[in-house]
Amino acid sequence: MKAFLKKIFFLEIVLLPCILLTAQVRIHYVPDASGKLLRKNNTVQFLNSFKILSAAKVSSMANMADKVMDIICQSARLNTPVGYNAKVNVGASDIGLKEKEPRLKIYCYLRYLVTDSRYTGIKESMDGADLYLNINAFGFFHQMGNYWQTCDKLKFPLFFEEPPLTDSTDDYIEFQYKGDPLRIVMAGTKPLLVPLTRKELIQFLIVSQEDAVKNDNDAVKSTLEGKEIIKKMMVSENESDKAYAASSLKRMDYNIEQFQKNRMRSEEEIADCKALLNSISPQDASAPARLDYNKKSTLGAMASLDRLVPVGRREGTLLVKLNPAFYNHSPNAPVAQMIILYYAWAKAGFAKAPDYLQQAILDVFNHIDYHQLKKSMQ
């Protein structure tokens, strides 16, 4: 016990200077200090360093990115920053640039100017607020809505509930994503999202039930294999173990029976869906799929059929998908055709009571020239 207390005493002696040093550190914001704007100007060289895009695509992407950075830097909050430093630059990855719709990111970082008792003069803090502009970030939608996991598992084209717009102009659309506004600027006139058709929803249900049949078949097969293994082991077991094995076999028989019932139900549902597809008119098949989520259903996995709103009615929730014809892949089309903007912060909820730096990033987000952003992609 004495030895333990001695170790604790020496540990306190060792840590005391560190504790005192930490306690003496004083960091204060300097909201009236003149800040700096730092902008990267090597976009062409940066994109060429990946050796992925053709010279024409590099030129198109770099030209757009430089225009976007010009627009950001023209903001009054950035070209004369006070109380913080501003940094604007581009970022990319091999994976993003290799996409059929090459991806690029433009970052705008704001960092507090502070005094730190450990140093002399004014320093730049590690924390602040950020604005992100993601170019061609179609992957942003890959986890939206209630169906993305099943779509991903089944390799079925993604669809999701239509996000309600909170703002919309000729230059952008806005909706809430995880509690904060997200704005999308599109180069062309084609809609980014289009309705999922009733036919496509029924096809999704067929594919999902076909997968359920496969899973039940696999379960029956593995259970039967397990039964054979247990039967072989029972030959050399004592009576007590044989009794336990017999009860296990009985449970396995019950499970097999349930798997087979599930399979039969899924097969019936597949047949019903296929019959429905054959019976509906082309007009109804191509009509938008709307679901009434408030309607109770006893159909389980097929509840969507119960909740389908009658054709022509506009209540319920519209299911949508990314427009497969949105991106123009023709040789003369610009590489950048969509910009997604959103801001980020260190502490949740700062938008409700922002400080001077956080307000600055909100002002850039709200008052950036969205019309010029749209033109930058043309």
Please give the single-letter amino acid code of residue 216. D
Asked whether the predicted pLDDT for residue 31 surpasses 90, the reply is yes
The pLDDT value given to residue 153:
96
Domain co-membership, 205 together with 284 = yes
Same domain, 168 and 94: yes
* pLDDT tens digits, one per residue of 38-93: 999 999 999 999 999 999 999 999 999 999 999 999 998 998 999 999 999 999 99
Q: Are 38 and 119 found together in one domain?
A: yes
Span 281-320, pLDDT tens digits = 999 999 999 999 999 888 887 889 889 999 999 999 999 9
Residue 251 lies in a domain: yes
Same domain, 202 and 276: yes
Confidence class for position 167, pLDDT limits 50, 70, 90 = very high
**What is the radius of gyration, based on Cα positions, of the chain?**
30
Same-domain check for residues 137 and 174: yes
* Domain end call among 307, 322, 337: 322
Which residues make Cβ contacts (< 8 Å) with residue 160, sequence separation at least 6?
Answer: 141, 144, 145, 146, 147, 148, 319, 320, 321
For the beta carbon of residue 179, count every other beta carbon within 10 angstroms.
8
Task: Spell out the residues 6+ positions from residue 239 whose beta carbon is closer than 8 angstroms to its own.
Answer: none
Cα angle, residue 320 at apex, residues 351 and 312 outer, rounded to 5°: 120
Last residue within a domain, chosen from 284, 305, 322: 322
Average pLDDT over residues 116-124: 88
313 within domain boundaries: yes
Q: Is 82 part of a structural domain of the chain?
A: yes
Q: Is the pLDDT of residue 225 over 80?
A: yes
State whether 232 and 305 are in the same domain.
yes
Tell me: do 245 and 106 sit in the same domain.
Answer: no
* Cβ contact 219:213 at 8 Å: no
Residue 351 within any structural domain of the chain = yes
Instruction: State which residues form the domain around 267.
Output: 198-322
Which 3 state secondary structure label does DSSP give 264? Answer: helix
In this structure, the number of other CB atoms found within 10 A of the CB of residue 319 comes to: 25
Q: Give the pLDDT confidence score for residue 346 in this predicted structure.
A: 65
pLDDT of 233 reads 79
Q: What would the two tokens of residue 323 be?
A: 């427009």
Segment 126-142, tens digit of pLDDT: 999 999 999 999 999 99
Please, which residues have CB within 8 angstroms of residue 60's CB and are 6 or more apart in sequence? 334, 335, 336
Same domain for 143 and 30, yes or no, is: yes
Domains: count for the chain: 2
The answer on 340 and 306 residing in a single domain is: no
What pLDDT, on a 0 to 100 scale, did the predictor assign at position 221? 94
- By the 8 A CB rule, do 115 and 123 touch? yes
Same domain, 295 and 251: yes
pLDDT, averaged across the chain: 90
Nearest partner of 370 among 173, 200, 150, judged by Cα = 173
Indicate if the pLDDT at residue 240 is higher than 90: no
